[in-house]
Amino acid sequence: MRIRIENARIVDGTGAPAYDGAVTIEDEHLAEVGEASAPPDEVLDARGRIVAPGFIDVHSHSGFTLPGQPEAEAKIAQGVTTEVVCNCGLGLLPSNERVERFYSLIQPIVFGEPGGRCYATLDAYRAALEGRGVSVNVACLVPHGNVRAAVMGLEERAATATEIGHMQALVTEGMEHGAFGLSTGLVYPPGAFAQRDEITEIVRPIRPFGGFYATHMRDEGTRVVESVEEALAIGRAAGVGVQISHHKAAGRLNWGKTKKTLALLDAARAEGLDVHSDVYPYTAGSTVLSAMVVPLWAFQGSQAQLLERLKDPPTRARIIRESKERLVRLAPLPTVVERLVPKPLLVRALLRAMSKLVVISSTKRQHHYEGKTLDEMARMRGQDLFEAILDLLVEEETAVAAIAHVMGERDVQRVMAHPQTMIGTDGFPQREGKPHPRTYGTYPRVLERYVRELGVLTLEQAVHKSTGMVAAKLGLTDRGVLRPGARADVVVFDFAGLRDRATYEDPRHGPEGLDHVFVNGAWTWRDGAHTGARAGRVLAKRAAA
Ligand SMILES: [Zn+2]
Q: Give me ligand 1 centre to Cα 458, in Å.
A: 27
Q: Give me ligand 1 centre to Cα 185, in Å.
A: 6
Q: What is the pTM of this model?
A: 0.95
User: Quick one: pLDDT at residue 336?
Assistant: 58
| Strand 42-45, strand 2-10: pairing | parallel
Mean pLDDT for 518-533 is 98
pLDDT band of 351, cuts 50, 70, 90? confident
Strand order in the sheet with 421-423: 142-143, 181-185, 212-216, 241-244, 275-279, 421-423
pLDDT band of 117, cuts 50, 70, 90? confident
Q: Give me ligand 1 centre to Cα 339, in Å.
A: 35
pLDDT band of 501, cuts 50, 70, 90? very high
Mean pLDDT for 216-227 is 95
Which residue, 496, 489, 540, 506, is CA-closest to 75? 489
User: Quick one: pLDDT at residue 329?
Assistant: 67
Walk me through the domains of the chain, giving residue ranges and CATH numbers.
Answer: 54-283+407-475 (3.20.20.140), 290-404 (no CATH)
User: Quick one: pLDDT at residue 482?
Assistant: 98
Reply yes or no: is the peptide bond before residue 94 cis, omega within 30 of 0: yes
| AA letter at 518 | F
User: Quick one: pLDDT at residue 345?
Assistant: 78
Q: What is the mean pLDDT of the chain?
A: 94
Q: Give me ligand 1 centre to Cα 363, in Å.
A: 19
User: Quick one: pLDDT at residue 116?
Assistant: 76
pLDDT at 332 over 60: no
Mean pLDDT for 448-471 is 98
User: Quick one: pLDDT at residue 431?
Assistant: 78
Instruction: Give the percent of the chain with pLDDT over 90.
Output: 85
pLDDT band of 342, cuts 50, 70, 90? confident
pLDDT band of 544, cuts 50, 70, 90? very low
Q: Give me ligand 1 centre to Cα 330, in Å.
A: 17
Phi-psi region of 251 (alpha: psi -120 to 50; beta: other; left: phi over 0): left
Q: Give me ligand 1 centre to Cα 323, in Å.
A: 20
| Strand 50-53, strand 401-404: pairing | unpaired
Strand order in the sheet with 285-288: 285-288, 401-404, 358-362
φ, ψ for residue 75 (rounded to 5)?
A: -90, -45
* DSSP conformation letters of 92-136: S-S--HHHHHHHHTTTTTTTSSTT----SSHHHHHHHHHHH--SS
pLDDT at 437 over 90: yes
Mean pLDDT for 507-518 is 97
In DSSP terms, 214 is beta-bridged to 183, 243
pLDDT at 346 over 80: no
Distance between alpha carbon 430 and the CA centroid of its chain, in Å?
Answer: 14
SS3 494: coil
User: How confident is the model over 234-258, as pLDDT tens digits?
Assistant: 999 999 999 999 999 998 889 999 9
User: Quick one: pLDDT at residue 114?
Assistant: 63
Measure the CA–CA gap between 294 and 175, rounded to whole angstroms: 33
Strand order in the sheet with 137-140: 55-57, 80-85, 137-140
Sign of the CA dihedral with 401 first, then 407, 413, and 416 last: negative
Q: Give me ligand 1 centre to Cα 91, in Å.
A: 12
Q: Give me ligand 1 centre to Cα 183, in Å.
A: 10
Q: Give me ligand 1 centre to Cα 89, in Å.
A: 8
User: Quick one: pLDDT at residue 101?
Assistant: 86
pLDDT at 545 over 50: no
Measure the CA–CA gap between 396 and 391, rounded to whole angstroms: 8
pLDDT band of 18, cuts 50, 70, 90? very high
Q: Give me ligand 1 centre to Cα 105, in Å.
A: 20
Q: Strands, DSSP E only, in 408-519?
A: 421-423, 490-493, 514-519
SS3 297: helix
Phi-psi region of 424 (alpha: psi -120 to 50; beta: other; left: phi over 0): beta
Q: Give me ligand 1 centre to Cα 247, in Å.
A: 10
Mean pLDDT for 327-355 is 72
- Among the residues of 313-408, which ranges form H helices? 313-330, 335-340, 343-355, 374-381, 385-395
